[in-house]
Structure 1
Amino acid sequence: MKADALVYCENEFGSVDGKVANGLIRQSERYSIVGIIDSSKKGQDTGERLDGVSNGILIFESIEHALEELSTIPEYFIYGIAPLASFLNDEQKEIIFTAMKSGMNIVNGLPEFFNDNIHYTNMALKYGVTIQDVRKPPARKNLHNFSGRIGEVKVPIITVMGTDCAVGKRTTALVLVEALRNEGLNAVFVTTGQTGLLQGSKYGVAIDVLTSGFATGEVENAILNAYEQEQPDIIVVEGQGALSHPAFTSSSAIIRGAMPDAIIIQHPPKRKSYCDYPKIPLLDLVDEIEMIEVFSKSKVIAITINHENMTNVEVDNAIKRYESKYDLPVTDVLLHGCDKLVRELIKTFPELKRESVLI
């Protein structure tokens, strides 16, 4: 059974830095989300706020407000913000301590590991709660170098890349996996970030906290584990950041470790600059595609849209424009689903059609 969890996302729910909370509201196999804390949106329905469809999960002003309204104390308190800054300020630390005092176990997705801080661990001990640092990497002795065994994977490996951070790569990958499964295919998702792990992904690791010497190997190892354990028809790997993004290197490690057979690229047409770097213009989509194809020696086979700050009419116009310009299938999976992507994958990998017919 899923464990009840309250998610902290002050001032950020529905925004770029709230992507952890956003993802957990949309899907979680591990937690039953009972509420979001964001005083700037108190009283709103999280589903309506995020996707325009009510889900009955409310946004609370504070921990105290949430515990007054909820019938029981949630088992877990999740820090649901993914900021550029790695460390909590004093006010945010007090939020964590308040959650501990209330009897909730702490789930931390930051690269600041609470278990390494004696103040957090002493507080947890005092109140009888646990701390889980989701992004803390395995011990060095358990990390994997790249082996080249990725060549043993005999089913299509697809990566969902993007033109920036927080553009919906994980969401698109998960929606695609579900659509492929609905076609009778055994599709497996491999995560590369903390939100995928929090959502319950069985395979993957948060690679942005790994040293460069192991990031590629850990991506490869996660895919190999998924392949050997699940015997899938297709593997979909979550991308991180953007290959062009000057602040992050995760994309290159994912491409190297996965050696994808095809790539889907996610793009926010209205975004003009890189996430958290307003003075650095976003690379044009055509240039990002070229960079990815040269680097990966693979092909971008579809484009998916992030509709932030766009009307439905603008999304539809962007889809038509991109399909004409790039001669590729284009969709917004949250608005229009994955039919185009599934058709393109079956066209690109005909063995998938045979598998779906057999099942």
Structure 2
Amino acid sequence: MPTPAIVLTHGLLHTMNAKTAHGLLRGTERFTILAVIDRDHAGRDAGEVMDGKNLSVPVFASVKDFLKQNPGKANTCIIGVALEGGKLPEDYRHEISDAIEAGLNMVNGLHTYLSDDPTFSALANKHQVTLTDIRKPKSFGQLHFWTGEILQSKTTRIAVLGTDCAIGKRTTCRWLWESCRTNGIKSEMLYTGQTGWLQGYPYGFIFDSTLNDFVSGELEHAILECEKNLKPDVIFIEGQSALRNPSGPAGSELIISGACKYVVLQHMPARKYFDDREDWGEIPSVRKEIKLIRMLGAKTIALTLNPSGMSEKDLRKYCDHMEDKLGIPVLVASRENIQSLTTLIEKLIE
């Protein structure tokens, strides 16, 4: 049964820094989201702040405000932001303390570990609550090294990669998973980040808190365990960062170590530079990225678009142009549009 929870975004709900909260609002099997705590958007609906669609999830200014109106309803408080370097800002501490003192368990996806903080640890002990740091690395004995067994696996695997960070890869991956399930295709999604874990997928690993020697093995192990225990027709694997983002290139592991033969590539046409930083360099063209993916050993089967910063007219023109140029489906990523890829995916199942 999903755990009733509130999500802390602390003034960032309208930004991409709240992508963890956004993922939880779009769907989670692990939690029931009762409210978002955000000082700048109190009184509004969280969905309307996120993307203009009402979700009947209220926003409160503080943890105390929520508890005053909803005593005893929440079990857990989740830190719903992903910040540069994964550091916990000082001005979050009082909200976290208020949650712990009210008897709420804390779930944290930042690189700053609450359980290592003497103040939070003492408070948690006093109020008998748990501090879960999702990004705390596994112990050496829990890690898996790559064996090559994945090369014998027959389950169709599709990696959802992107041309940059924070452009909607995980959300598109979820929509593909949902669409296949709705249409009778037995599908699973492997998480590779903290938000995916929070959403409740049974298999995966936290990519950026795994020792580099074991990234390939943890990926292989998650795929093989999913295949063995759930026997899906298709596995979608969430990509992290981008193949050529200089702050943390990633994605080749999914193709090479995870033996994914197919890729759905997510792109944001309005973004010119990696992470919107000119000094980081220009994002390569879609055609060049698809060529690189082919060199790594996978086929790009569709291009999905993050529409931010473009008009509907320009998006339609871009889709038509790129579809003609690439010879693959090109579509704006949305729960409705993704449905059109189901038939294509069904044909790929071995």
Same fold flag (TM > 0.5):
yes
- Corresponding residue for residue 230 of structure 2: 230
Preserved CA contact (<8 Å) 1:38 1:62: yes
Preserved CA contact (<8 Å) 1:84 1:276: no
Preserved CA contact (<8 Å) 1:329 1:340: no
The one-letter code matched in structure 2 to 1:172 is T
Segment of structure 1 superposing worse, 245-254 or 220-229: 245-254
Q: Which runs of 5+ in 2 are unaligned?
A: none
Specify the SS of the correspondent of 2:184: coil
- Corresponding residue for residue 292 of structure 1: 293
Specify the SS of the correspondent of 1:275: helix
Segment of structure 1 superposing worse, 42-51 or 24-33: 42-51
CA distance 1:339–1:6, change in 2 (3 Å): closer
TM-fit CA distance, 1:278: 4.7
The one-letter code matched in structure 1 to 2:189 is F
TM-fit CA distance, 1:33: 0.6
Preserved CA contact (<8 Å) 2:255 2:298: no
* Separation (CA, whole Å) in 1 of partners of 2:349 and 2:121: 53
TM-fit CA distance, 1:41: 1.9
TM-fit CA distance, 1:143: 0.3
* Separation (CA, whole Å) in 1 of partners of 2:254 and 2:156: 15
The one-letter code matched in structure 2 to 1:227 is E
- Corresponding residue for residue 149 of structure 2: 149
Specify the SS of the correspondent of 1:35: strand
* 1:218 pairs with 2:218: yes
Preserved CA contact (<8 Å) 2:135 2:206: yes
Specify the SS of the correspondent of 1:328: coil
CA distance 1:159–1:293, change in 2 (3 Å): same
CA distance 1:312–1:263, change in 2 (3 Å): same
* Separation (CA, whole Å) in 1 of partners of 2:248 and 2:106: 27
Preserved CA contact (<8 Å) 1:73 1:104: no
- Corresponding residue for residue 47 of structure 2: 47
Specify the SS of the correspondent of 1:259: coil
Percent of pairs with identical residues? 33
Q: Which runs of 5+ in 1 are unaligned?
A: 352-359
Segment of structure 1 superposing worse, 312-321 or 191-200: 312-321
Segment of structure 1 superposing worse, 281-290 or 220-229: 281-290
- Corresponding residue for residue 6 of structure 1: 6
Segment of structure 1 superposing worse, 18-27 or 302-311: 302-311
Aligned length: 349
- Corresponding residue for residue 27 of structure 2: 27
Specify the SS of the correspondent of 1:39: coil
* Separation (CA, whole Å) in 1 of partners of 2:19 and 2:220: 25
Q: Where do 1:82-97 residues align within 5 Å?
A: 82-97=82-97
Q: Where do 1:250-269 residues align within 5 Å?
A: 250-269=250-269
The one-letter code matched in structure 1 to 2:221 is N
- TM-score, normalised to structure 1's length? 0.92
* Separation (CA, whole Å) in 1 of partners of 2:176 and 2:4: 27
Preserved CA contact (<8 Å) 2:138 2:210: no
- Corresponding residue for residue 357 of structure 1: none
* Separation (CA, whole Å) in 1 of partners of 2:195 and 2:342: 24
- Corresponding residue for residue 174 of structure 1: 174
- Corresponding residue for residue 131 of structure 2: 131
TM-fit CA distance, 1:173: 0.9
- Corresponding residue for residue 109 of structure 1: 109
**Structural RMSD (CA):** 1.7
- TM-score, normalised to structure 2's length? 0.94
Residues 58-107 of structure 1: CA deviation (Å, up to 9, x unaligned): 12222222223335341100000001132223222222112111211000
